[in-house]
Amino acid sequence: MTARRLLASIHDVTPVHAERLDRLVPIVEAIVGPGRYALLVVPDFHRQGLLTGHPQFVRRLRGWADAGCEIFLHGFTHVDESRHAGVAARRKASRMTAGEGEFLGLSTREAEARIVEGRDMIEQSIGRPIAGFVAPAWLYGEDSLAALAAQNIRTIEDHFRVWNPQNSEVFARGPVVTYASRSRMRIASSILWSRLATVLLARASTVRLAVHPHDVDSPRLMREIARALGTFARSHQPATYADLASGRFS
């Protein structure tokens, strides 16, 4: 019988959120173990300064990578500055995220340029290849998917699957468990979904749970995150995306 996997990830890893990460990382690590979670790095979060302009944070990032954490490129600015063509794209951009679907409306050329620059910046910082790419808000346009395939990115994910954009091989299916902290209503709905998920996904072969630095601003949310992550960690073995893509456990 194949063991069940838990893929835990921390999004929006950037010097801008350094203090929140100081609080969030130890909570996740205490439950899943050192190096058993992914870090999604934004090279120039909201255009507030390049990652490389913060050498102390770069050293921390390299330390996490040395400890075994998978480092993903997570967009470049995390800000959607595109003019979207088509009703579906405009609806996604306005309803599924607060203006942060950076890779939803980019051209292939612009998406490739951001991927190349972001990947080079992170890889020079951590001294190893990135593990893959996750678009901000998990939103991709067709051009950005083509850019990822052209740049030999082999592991990406959205709300419902993890796959290889080069050949469309799907590594895992199922909804990601994540949280929203922008309002009381979003916090309440996130907690409800999280509690349902620990029941509905109890037998899923792969569970993904993603957290964000702003989650620590809500004690209610953090209590639920710790509960859900602990519940899943008892039924699913903390694993890496590389384990998933190769079909192995380490």
pTM beyond cutoff 0.75: yes
Q: Tell me if 244 sits within 8 A of 7, measured CB to CB.
A: yes
User: What average pLDDT does range 80-91 have in this prediction?
Assistant: 54
Q: Does the structure show a pLDDT above 50 at 94? A: no
The pair of three-digit structure tokens given for residue 184, joined into one six-digit string:
């009381």
Output Rg (C-alpha) for the chain, integer angstroms. 17
Contact 244, 162 (CB under 8 A): yes
Q: CATH number for the 5-246 domain, one of 3.20.20.370, 3.40.50.300, 2.40.50.100, 3.40.47.10?
A: 3.20.20.370
Residue 136 has pLDDT above 70, yes or no: yes
Is the separation of the CB atoms in 216 and 248 below 8 Å?
A: no
pLDDT at 97 over 90: no
Bridge partner residues of 41 (DSSP)? 13, 73
Percentage of the chain with pLDDT > 90? 87
